[in-house]
Structure 1
Amino acid sequence: MNFLRRSLMLVAATVMLAGVAAAQTAPPHPSPVPRPVVPPAPVPPPPEVDGASWVLMDYATGQILASKDPDARRAPASLTKVMTDYVVSAEIANGRIHPNDMVTISEHAWRGGGAGTDGSTSFLKLGSQVPLEDLLKGMIVQSGNDAAIALAEHTAGSEDAFANLMNAYAKQLGMVNTHFSNASGYPVANHYSSARDIAILSRALIHDFPTDYAISAIKEYEWNGIKQQNRNELLWRDPAVDGIKTGHTAEAGYCLDASAKHGDERMIAVVMGASTNKARADSAMALLNYGFRFYETHKLYDTSKPLATPRLWKGAANQLPIGVASDVLVTVKTGEYDKLKATMDIPATLIAPFKKGQQVGTLRVTLDGQPVQSVPLIALNDAPQGGFFSRLWDSILLWFHHDSGNTEQAPGGK
């Protein structure tokens, strides 16, 4: 018996060592194109911004690159219409409404957002019928409050019901400092958002509904014989700017939600509570330029490519390929790529079965000890249980295997 036990221990140790070696073998992530060795260039602080709160977000990663009071709850004015646009676009995608629907302009839309008010209007006529797609243009380009109310009523039956729908979508998108009470941004109680939430919403609109987002790049729009220009003056300053929305009330100040694209890079800048129209435009443009000049985005790992193949116990196979469900991108200051560190938190004991896509561990990316990304590690294949004798053998080997957790440096991690 002692001889048999020593033999089993020797075999078990050999198998476990092989499993650990396999778990640490994976292709490195792509490296940036080599550059001449030069002294590191300092990155300046973000520009001065005229605004009570603001954020600069990288579109590809959703990372906030610079900010001031990003979670402060403020009146969003007509930035509200970005959510109205998102909800209408989502309801079109779900087949509940259609771009060619004829929308009747109610008395509420006419009185609450029409020519007789002090707010922005598309000059819609009471009782007229307007194609839904034209109302979208009127709301986004002309910032028509009447168009926003008409869209809300057509989509949900009433503006109050539409506001509930707005809040449901806001919760779904993770907008934790937002509550909407109407579709236009007219100042009322309990109607607020934050610079970070508006950036989150804008990123979702660009990603989920690019065709509808493209409307925000239209410089002018004519309806009922009246031509009005888009209030986003950055559309005339820089051809890279293609959206998104302006807003202004006495309570909110001057607000601007702007986005621009250079090559494969896109930035989103949200400024809330600026002192003037020019100040909000200057500040948003400065933030966008700062982002493009001093930050760069890198792809660390590709979708569905194994990052590790740890030992799998009681499975039909002896190893479990694990990776990420989508490309892992990070945005860092120019020249800081080499400071990134990546580790994988994987349980020391993985016992079959596993389903493809099931989370197995976590990939963590840090920079100077600070978290940058945390991404689930998933099983890349189905991993069914092995046969009876295979499971029995692994049960014996597991007597000698101690589960103490496992944190490994990710392949290519610095």
Structure 2
Amino acid sequence: MKRILGTLLITGTIAGTAVADPGTAAPQESTLPPPSPAQKIPDPPHPDVRAYLLMDYTSGRVLFGEHYDERIDPASLTKMMTSYVIGQELKLGRIHLDDKVSISENAWSKNLGDSSKMFLEIGKTVPVDLLNKGIIIQSGNDACIAMAEHIAGSESSFASLMNEWGKRIGLRGSHFVNSHGLYNEQHYSTAYDMAVLGRALIKDLPEEYKIYSQKEFTFNGIRQMNRNRLLWDTSINVDGIKTGHISQVGYNLVASAVNSSNGMRLISVIIGDVSEKSRAANSLALLRYGLRFYEPYTPLAKGQVLLKKEVRLGELSEVPLGTLHDVSFAIPLESENRIKATYVMKESPLKAPITKGQVLGTLSFSLDGKTIYEVPLVALSDVAEGGFMSRMWDQMYMAVSGWF
């Protein structure tokens, strides 16, 4: 259940000085007793893998994890990036699902050994729609090469597109040199980046993401199953995302599940597990824990006035502040009363002209003294520049105020 800002203490900082400002919210005591035993939750799972994390989809915040910023080989998790580029190309109208793709010798399945493939045949033409499904469901390396060549002319050029889109969506430790994830020492990522990528797929390309929940796909008379075992688990609502395996690392899995009762979505990442069975079990443990012991919290709605601040040199004397989007993030169960909000203004007093949506500060939320989420604090309305006399008066006022 979403909760809108009610009794939440808001404090603000201007030029390094903390000030209390209840704004439109009723204040509450700043110091609360520790949670009762009934409010405490158990420690999260600690899988014995190379790296792992659990991410809140709505905010993109890592709830817990270990070694998730360390460099790893993503293996077939790479195909999420390939899929993201394909989805964006479709969205932009540069390619279409019924486009026919000619299969080159590079993409010929016989040249890819015993790696996962769609079993494409050289010289044949295959629609984009089928190749895309072959990438996502069958994890076809041959389909990746075919689509890379179709979109960018060569796989190296396509890798440049992958890296460019990666920067746009916030990947901070990844570099791609191929479309499929076969081993290359210059091809790397992190568990965190794989979670960010999964989040971008769900958020930016919902139609593309729907394919990730499909359990099987048949092409050229060959029926292959999705390797994500969690799609068959009826105890949890998993709808994606992608598996990967490479001998240098082990078994990887990025998964996502939704709590049907409150709509909270979580993303888990397991890197370097010992088997398909183990990576599924460890991913399931992370997701079950998060869905059981966290809940969505929405302290501020889009456009809701959080507070008003003085404006000088303008036709109005104050401007309402808030956020352009709902502020929502996952918190541990029964921890709402331990959340506090603080803001930091860029300057004070504010000076006109001010435009709606202009970032004027930062709003931070903390739990037990630790910052867990930050959003820009923006103007919710325009403030035009005042008349000549009004500006002169304000200039004099600010000059005199500066003396003291």
Superposition TM-score, scaled by structure 1 size: 0.87
Question: 1:180-236 CA distances to partner (integer Å, 9 max, x unpaired)?
Answer: 110001111211111100000000100000111110110010001111111111111
* Structure 2 counterparts to residues 255-404 of structure 1, below 5 A: 255-263=252-260, 264-346=263-345, 347-402=347-402
- Is 1:60 the counterpart of 2:66 in the alignment? no
Q: Is the 8 A contact 2:61 2:373 kept in 1?
A: no
SS of alignment partner, residue 375 of structure 2: strand
Which among 79, 82, 94 is matched to residue 96 of structure 1?
A: 94
Unaligned runs of at least 5 residues, structure 1: 1-20, 30-36, 405-414
Aligned residue runs from structure 1 range 14-413, under 5 A: 24-27=22-25, 39-110=37-108, 113-114=109-110, 117-238=113-234, 240-263=237-260, 264-346=263-345, 347-402=347-402
Cα-to-partner distance string for 1:48-69 (whole Å, 9 max, x where unaligned): 3142111111111111111110
| RMSD of aligned Cα (Å) | 2.1
| Mapped partners of 1:132, 1:333: distance in 2 | 43
In structure 1, C-alpha distance between the alignment counterparts of 2:70 and 2:22, rounded to whole Å: 44
| 1:75 positional shift | 0.9
Distance across 2 between alignment mates of 1:255 and 1:141: 15
Structure 2 counterpart of 1:13: none
Give the whole-Å Cα distance in 2 for the aligned partners of 1:381 and 1:114: 62
Residue 327 of structure 1 aligns with an amino acid whose one-letter code is D
Q: CA deviation at 1:40?
A: 3.4
Report the identity percentage.
44
2:308 aligns to what SS in structure 1? Answer: coil
Q: Give unpaired runs (5+ residues) of structure 2.
A: 1-18, 28-34
Contact 2:56 2:329 in 1 (8 A): no
SS in 1 for 2:318: coil
CA 1:389 to 1:167, structure 2 compared with 1: closer, same or farther past 3 Å?
Answer: same
Task: Output the amino acid matched with 2:49.
Answer: G
Q: CA offset at residue 118 of structure 1?
A: 1.2
Q: Secondary structure at the match of 1:311?
A: strand
Cα distance, 1:165 vs. partner?
0.8
Provide the rounded CA distance (Å) in 2 between the counterparts of 1:61 and 1:214.
Answer: 21
SS in 2 for 1:176: coil
1: CA distance between counterparts of 2:272 and 2:145?
Answer: 24
SS at match of 1:164: helix
Q: CA deviation at 1:116?
A: 5.5
Q: SS where residue 310 of structure 1 aligns? A: strand
Separation in structure 1 between the aligned mates of residue 134 and residue 238 of structure 2, nearest angstrom: 20
Using a 3 Å threshold, how does the CA distance of structure 1 residues 138 and 191 change in structure 2: closer, same or farther?
A: same
Mark the structure with the bigger radius of gyration.
1
2:210 partner SS: helix
Say if 1:40 and 1:335, in contact at 8 Å, map to a contact too.
Answer: no
CA distance in 2, matches of 1:124, 1:392: 75
Measured after TM superposition, the shift of residue 28 of structure 1 is 5.8
Structure 2 CA distance for aligned equivalents of residues 395 and 50 of structure 1: 64
Q: Distance in 2 between matches of 1:89 and 1:220?
A: 20
SS at match of 2:378: strand
Q: Distance in 1 between matches of 2:377 and 2:403?
A: 19
Q: Distance in 2 between matches of 1:335 and 1:27?
A: 20
1:115–1:123 Cα contact (<8 Å) kept: no
Residue type of the alignment partner of 2:272: G
Residue in structure 2 matched with residue 5 of structure 1 by the alignment: none
Pair 1:116–1:363, CA change in 2 (3 A)? closer
Indicate how the Cα distance of structure 1 residues 79 and 56 shifts in structure 2: closer, same or farther if over 3 A, else same.
same
Q: Secondary structure at the match of 1:107?
A: coil
Runs of 4+ in structure 1 displaced over 4 angstroms? 113-116
Paired residues of 1:349 and 1:403 also in contact (CA < 8 A): no
8 Å contact from structure 2 (residues 112, 142) kept in 1: no
- Residues 390, 212 of structure 1: CA spacing in aligned structure 2 closer, same or farther, 3 A cutoff? same
Separation of aligned partners in 1, 2:130 and 2:98? 9
Change in 2 beyond 3 A, CA 1:329/1:402: farther
Report the residue type matching 1:41 in the other structure.
Q
| Residue type at the aligned position of 2:172 | V
Question: How far does residue 330 in structure 1 lie from its aligned partner after superposition?
Answer: 2.6
Structure 2 CA distance for partners of 1:394 and 1:266, relative to 1, 3 Å = same
* Alignment-mate amino acid for residue 344 of structure 1: Y
In structure 2, do the counterparts of structure 1 residues 312 and 60 end up closer, same or farther at CA, with 3 Å as the change threshold? same
Q: Distance in 1 between matches of 2:212 and 2:375?
A: 32
Does the 8 Å contact 1:105/1:126 carry over to 2?
Answer: yes
